[in-house]
Homo-oligomer: A and B are copies of this chain.
């Protein structure tokens, strides 16, 4: 069983790649729900939706969120009616939120709602919210306390952040299957999602970080940072705020207590060479195992370089295949 921990945009691309190289019943996706919001009275789970749409082949390739070919007619009317409109829900997308909200209002859990939606979308991989309890990513910023979507969408993440909180995390429980799937996985993959606000909330749910530390499976993270910058979104700024360098070394540091392998982009091979000194000879070869000798990592991790920028369906499949190949090689070597 391959278990992926993911946020929305970047992570979903990797999930789509994995879908091409493993059978659906081998794939479990654990999704951040710290970004969930009540919008127009509906329960919206942006990251869960991206994963569901991605797996169902419905995700808008242009936008990276929402449904391909969606329209925004209801949104325009909401705006005319003086309702908040900075968070865009498409007309097709709305059906997902209306359905989820109806399932939740009937007294069911978010896990249940997610499984029901996944089934309706014909998805056979297992998609689990990190928790059925409400965990909210909240940021202290120069504009005051903002929820993640206020920060990310409304303010276009153009505001300085001093602290990130995961409200409710302390009292939350991992959703059914989350801890078990990590513990019994053959490989655990942290998708190239923001370590602070996409993977961070998942790690804040009691028991999940511990499961990552103790699982026998190799834990592999794909860096969302290439060449010292985030592929998309505010990962670099938020990592700096946390005191981590906005480099692949910072990513390793975020996961330093459980990380076995960091997958970095080819573009970072030079950076790795410089950091690791004379062990650089093989670094330009994809598939190279190399100890990540960053002083800040408490655990000895390895780094592999390959193309991590997923522009096409082929890119996604190749990255997924690369990860699996080396994970299983690692497992065989350990066995």
Contacts and interface: CB of A to CB of B under 8 A. Distances in A.
Interface string A90-108: 0110111011011001000
Contact of A71 (B73, B81, B120): B73
A75 to B, nearest CB: 8
A156 to B, nearest CB: 25
Contacts of A117: 81
Contacts of A42: 41, 98
This protein's copies in its complex: 2
A41 B100 CA distance: 11
A91 B81 CA distance: 14
A74 interface: yes
A214 interface: no
A77 B95 contact: yes
A15 to B, nearest CB: 21
A66 to B, nearest CB: 12
Contacts of A82: 120
A70 B74 CA distance: 10
Which residue of A42, A98, A105 has the most chain B CB atoms within 10 A of its CB atom?
A: A98
Contacts of A80: 95, 120
B83 A41 contact: no
Nearest to A101: B41
**CB-based closest 3 A-B pairs:** A77-B95, A91-B91, A73-B91
Given A70-B73, A81-B117, A91-B94, 8 more contacts: A71-B71, A73-B92, A74-B74, A74-B92, A81-B96, A81-B120, A83-B98, A83-B102
Interface of A: 40-42, 70-71, 73-75, 77-78, 80-83, 91-92, 94-96, 98-99, 101-102, 105, 117, 120
30 contacts: A40-B98, A40-B102, A41-B41, A41-B42, A41-B102, A42-B98, A70-B73, A71-B73, A71-B91, A73-B73, A73-B91, A74-B74, A74-B92, A74-B95, A75-B95, A77-B92, A77-B94, A77-B96, A78-B98, A80-B95, A80-B120, A81-B95, A81-B96, A81-B99, A81-B120, A83-B98, A83-B99, A83-B102, A91-B91, A94-B94
